[in-house]
Amino acid sequence: MDLSSIIMLMQTAMAQAAEQLPEATSAITGDDIRLAGAMLGAGMCMGFGAIGPGIGQGFAAGKACEAIGRSPENAGLLTRTMLMGQAVSETTGIYSLVVAFLILFVLS
């Protein structure tokens, strides 16, 4: 079988597929795919984005508890430092939230 006949076979197969395609997938439009992709993207964005801040803030809180156990008289200072550290650790979580909102409400 030479090259031209293979190309011809492929062309007929593609033409047949193109004829069948609209019937098989007529229910799905481009907007549907776009919305579905937006929802999946936002879900993954927030879901995976929440892992890091959660663990990081827990570390900070744990160390603060440990330190307060050792020197309770500095509790105010330690709690303040803990909250400041956690706020910085929170930023990536907020980035995820903002990007998820952007995907859901601005881009979709």
Partner 1 sequence: MDLDPHIIELIGRYLGAGVALGFGGIGAAVGMGLAAGNADEGIMRQPETQSQMVRTMLIGQAVGGSPSIFALVIGLMILFVPSASLSGTETTMVAGLIAAGIAIGLGCFGSGLGCGWPAAAGCSGVARNPRHASRITQAMIIGQAVAQSPSIFAAVIALVLLFVNFAPGAAEWAIVGIAIGAGIAMGAGGLGPGLGSGVTAGGAISGLSLWPQTYGTTVRTMLIGQAVAQTPAIFGLLIAFIMMFAMQDIGDGIIGFARAVAAGVAVGFGGIGPGIGSGIAAERGCSASAARPRIEALVLRTMLIGQAVSQSTAIYSLIIALIILYVL
Which residues contribute to the site for partner 1 (CB under 8 A)? 27-28, 32-33, 35-44, 46-66, 68-70, 72, 75, 78-79, 82-83, 86-87, 90, 93-94, 96-97, 100, 104, 108
Closest to 66 (Cα-Cα) out of 82, 86, 52: 82
Least separation in angstroms between residue 55's CB and partner 1 is: 5
Q: Is the distance from CB of 87 to CB of 36 less than 8 angstroms?
A: no
- Distance, in Å, from the CA atom of 9 to the CA atom of 72, rounded to the nearest integer, reads 82
Shortest spacing between CB 4 and partner 1, in angstroms = 28
CB of 102 to partner 1, least distance (A): 12
- Residue number with CB closer to partner 1 (8 or 32): 32
Q: How many CB atoms lie within 10 A of CB 105?
A: 10
